[in-house]
Amino acid sequence: MKSFLAKKGQVEQKWWVLDAEDKVLGRLASKVAVILMGKNKPVYTPHVDTGDYVIIVNAEKVRLTGRKPQNKTYQTYSRYPSGQKIIPFARMIERHPERVIERAVRRMLPKSGLGERMFKKLKVYKGPHHEHAAQKPVKLEL
């Protein structure tokens, strides 16, 4: 018996909506990364995008555990002298809460072109409303 390998367009991709209110950031991100990669499906194939679309709402209400809300920082570097920026978690969640979740999920996906396509299937919204009602997303509980 031959092994099953999914082909592009052969796998149905569903839409899921997930409420991030009072969810721990890392646990949420790891579950979302598994869904985006398609590892929760029996037809998972490593070289084919078999994952589903995920919509995350209430990104500003995600939480961290322990002392991480005070200690966690986000760093960027422009490769110029004095080009390093360090942004504390409190300011990042206040200004761009969707970037906090996007960055956590993106770093759990493959670092390749396939990983980029998987990441494009993630939609994160600050508040409780999203623009994807036409896709009829199914509510997902973690």
pLDDT in tens, 49-104: 999 999 999 999 999 999 999 999 999 999 999 999 999 999 999 999 999 999 99
pLDDT in tens, 110-141: 999 999 999 999 999 999 999 999 999 999 99
**Cα 29 off chain centre by:** 6
Whole-structure pTM value: 0.93
Determine contact, residues 67/139, Cβ cutoff 8 Å.
no
DSSP strand pairing (53-57 vs 122-124): parallel
* Identity of residue 118: M
15-64+96-139 placed in CATH 3.90.1640.10: no
Domain ranges of the chain: 15-64+96-139
DSSP strand pairing (138-139 vs 53-57): unpaired
